[in-house]
Amino acid sequence: MVGRGSLKAFGEWLSDFPYGRIAVLADENTSLCCFPILQPYLPAGSVLISIQAGEQHKQLSICEMIWQQLNAHGFQRKDLLICLGGGVVTDIGAFVASTYLRGIPFVQVPTSLLAMVDAGIGGKTGVDLQHHKNRVGTFAFPVCTVCDPVFLQTLPVREWKEGSAEMYKHAIIADAVLWSILKEHPVHPELSDEMLERAVNVKLNIVHLDPLEKGLRKVLNFGHTIGHAYESFRLSAGDPVSHGFAVALGMQVEARLARRSGCLEEEPYSEIIDTLRQVFGAADLSGILYSELMHWMRFDKKNSDARISFSLPVDIGNCVWDSYADPEILRETLLSFNALEG
């Protein structure tokens, strides 16, 4: 369910509810801002479980606390967990639901832009492990996903911008029309149902063709090989950056890698770089050593051997996966963004 009015449709869906009881997982912000919007559609006796907000809490210890609460409330296999929040809540909640009692049904109600167009759809669940992003997780698919912009009213402006990073990514890898729309219309405050639907559909179509990421789905990782490495580095340094910021940075670096590797022509490359710089600022890797970036990139889940695998655009709207960059070109590219030697 995507677009304005989908929460109401979800309410109707819930009234034919074939499940038992309902628990809602939210974080400290979405329990205040979003739960009151959802609550009128819930049956009496629904339970709210609230966790602290932020990537640093996307951890197994938090899952244990949620499992314990579900257990304490006597939740059983037919009961339902609704994940109400940004990507941290949708990733943790889906993981908890997919493992509690070996799996209970869950619904994704993403409330950040990033979660609506990406994290809340596609069936990837998980938590971080010792600063390694999404190291522990499952593939598990919700019984329903509700992407209603009604929740975005309270989203801080910074989160709008960073959430739009995944929309730009979807446009670059698979939807040149969405790219043209995004170039003309800033996502905040002009988000239209068409923009939201196009961005969601890019992900849905890809996941439909390759749910378990055997091939095509890897294109969704454009910007993430560098982005996740940078995010992990900052998380380990106790100075986390948002996922959207890291992906915006990663897309600029990986677009240059694609250009230098000869798979992306100058014109689309310049268009990608100029647009991303305008929206997110110029990518800057100063303060991180080349060797540190390589260390974190080696943990990337797309790697199948010692080589680092990238998903790289070959044009606007078209992307390839399993691309192994020449080590010297990769090194020069990273250093060109002010990464430090060593």
Ligand X SMILES: NC(=O)c1ccc[n+]([C@@H]2O[C@H](COP(=O)([O-])OP(=O)(O)OC[C@H]3O[C@@H](n4cnc5c(N)ncnc54)[C@H](O)[C@@H]3O)[C@@H](O)[C@H]2O)c1
Question: What residues make contact with ligand X under the rule CB under 6 A?
Answer: 27, 29-30, 33-34, 53-55, 58, 85-89, 91, 111-112, 114-115, 118-119, 122, 124, 133-134, 151-152, 154-155, 159, 163, 242-244
User: Shortest approach of ligand X to residue 314 CB, angstroms?
Assistant: 23
Q: Which of 102, 184, 214, 266 is catalytic?
A: 102
Q: Are 298 and 228 in contact (CB under 8 A)?
A: no
Distance CA 76, CA 110 (A): 24
Q: What is the 3-state secondary structure (H, E, C) of 267-302?
A: HHHHHHHHHHHHHHCCCCCCCCEHHHHHHHHCCCCC
Tell me which residue of 84, 48, 51, 79 sits closest to 65, measured CA to CA. Answer: 51
Does 166 participate in catalysis according to the annotation? yes
Catalytic residue, candidates 218, 224, 256, 259: 224
Q: Which residue is nearest to ligand X (CB)?
A: 87
Nearest distance, CB of residue 244 and ligand X, angstroms: 6
- Strand blocks (E) in 170-300: none
- Report in angstroms how near the CB of residue 43 gets to ligand X at its nearest: 23
Min dist CB 152 to ligand X, Å, is 6
E strand spans, the chain: 22-27, 47-51, 80-85, 106-110, 127-129, 132-136, 144-145, 309-315, 318-324
Active-site residue 213, yes or no? yes
Widest CA span in the chain = 61
Question: Which of 118/254 has CB closer to ligand X?
Answer: 118
Residue 43 carries which DSSP code? P
Q: Which is closer to ligand X, CB of 200 or CB of 330?
A: 200
Give least dist CB 261 to ligand X, A.
25
What whole-number distance in Å separates Cα of residue 222 and Cα of residue 82?
Answer: 29
Question: Are 326 and 261 within 8 A, CB to CB?
Answer: yes
| CA-to-CA separations, 272 to 61, 150, 204, 317, in angstroms, rounded | 40, 30, 23, 11
Catalytic residue selected from 58, 228, 234, 260: 228
Q: Which of 159, 162, 166, 292 is flagged as catalytic?
A: 166
**Catalytic choice (159, 170, 221, 260):** 221
Count of alpha carbons within 13 Å of 142, Cβ hemisphere only?
29
- Give 195 or 330: the residue with its C-beta nearer to ligand X: 195
> In whole angstroms, what separates CA 91 from the centre of its chain?
9
What's the min distance (Å) between Cβ of 262 and ligand X?
Answer: 29
Catalytic residue among 55, 162, 213, 292: 213
114 versus 325: smaller Cβ distance to ligand X: 114
State yes or no: is 203 an active-site residue: yes
Give the nearest distance from C-beta 119 to ligand X in angstroms: 3
Please pick, among 203, 234, 256, 259, the residue that the annotation labels catalytic: 203
Burial 113-140 (b: 16+ CB within 10 A, else e): bbbbbbbbbbbbbbbbeebbbbeebeeb
Cα–Cα distance, 168 to 272 (Å, whole number): 9
Annotated catalytic residue 102: yes
Residue partners of 55: CB distance under 8 A and separation at least 6: 88, 128, 231, 235, 240, 242, 243
Minimum CB distance to ligand X smaller for 100 or for 245: 245
Nearest residue (CB) to ligand X, 244 versus 313 = 244
208 is catalytic: no
Between residues 220 and 339, which has the closer beta carbon with respect to ligand X? 220
Residues annotated as catalytic (active site), given as ranges: 102, 124, 166, 203, 213, 217, 221, 224, 228, 243
